[in-house]
Amino acid sequence: SLVVSDDGVWRDQFYSGNIKKERKVFNTFQNNMLQHRAIVLHLAKSWFRIGSLEILAHSGELDLQRRLLDFIIREHFPSIAMNDSNRYLAFFCTVVSETANLIALWMSVGFGHGVCNTDNFSLLSITIDYGPFGFMDSYDPNFLPNTSDDEGTYKIGNQANVGLFNLSKLLQALNPLLDPRQKKLASQILEGYGECYYSRFTELFKTKLGLLGENENDNYLIAFLLKVSLLC
């Protein structure tokens, strides 16, 4: 079965420049082969994204934004106390850390998220709405699974930077709910994103290589092997 809306959307089905208006189909798929039926669903613990808070901040609906944020924290961040005046700061700190971890995990298996905008970045740091995605057959930082991304904005070698950009947009959305001290601390947390990502990335690749303990040459070895893989 198909669930179709009456609203029209513009699509370029084959990315050929031939844009057509069609009715929007929601999250279902029909397969008639051999009379078997299958419905494909996107499932997640939550579909709240960075964009969910961005749109409310942009429209100035701060009371609704605060209510939504409290609901998200209460439902999905049990380690944060609801009576803590710094709960939004703690929430942001957790999202920064977990987003860095998620993208490092993507990189560790060569996964390319095709559409990394803020509306496709989960506040729970889980992989949702990846659109045209792909896994690299061999290492290539310019690998791009989305053929409509002409500028290579979301190429796999840029995913960590896109994560930082999206988190900066999250901080911008949260700023109206933070006091001056909290804003300063939140900016410092965001500045630590790169170190958090790099640390997790290094940890994952050291595990792949079977490297034990700490050695100052570990990072050099990882970089060298990635460069050799690129040349191959």
**Which residues span the domain enclosing 97?**
50-230
Average pLDDT over residues 199-220: 91
pLDDT digit string, tens, across residues 10-64 = 877 777 788 888 877 655 444 444 444 455 667 788 889 999 999 999 999 999 9
Looking at the fold, whether 127 and 216 belong to one and the same domain comes out as yes
pLDDT of 1 reads 52
Number of domains in the chain: 2
DSSP per-residue string spanning the chain: ---EEEEEEEE-TTSSS--EEEEEE-S-----GGG---------S---BHHHHHHHHHTT-HHHHHHHHHHHHHHH-TTS-TT-TTHHHHHHHHHHHHHHHHHHHHHHTTEE-S--SGGGSBTT-------S-EE-SS--TT--S-TT-TT-TT-GGGHHHHHHHHHHHHHHHHGGGS-HHHHHHHHHHHHTHHHHHHHHHHHHHHHHHT--S--TTHHHHHHHHHHHHHH-
- When the pLDDT of each residue in the chain is averaged and rounded to a whole number, the result is 88
Query: 90 with 150, same domain?
Result: yes
If asked whether residues 83 and 151 sit together in one domain, one would say: yes
The residues annotated with a catalytic role in the active site are 119
Question: 221 and 114 in one domain?
Answer: yes
This prediction's pTM: 0.81
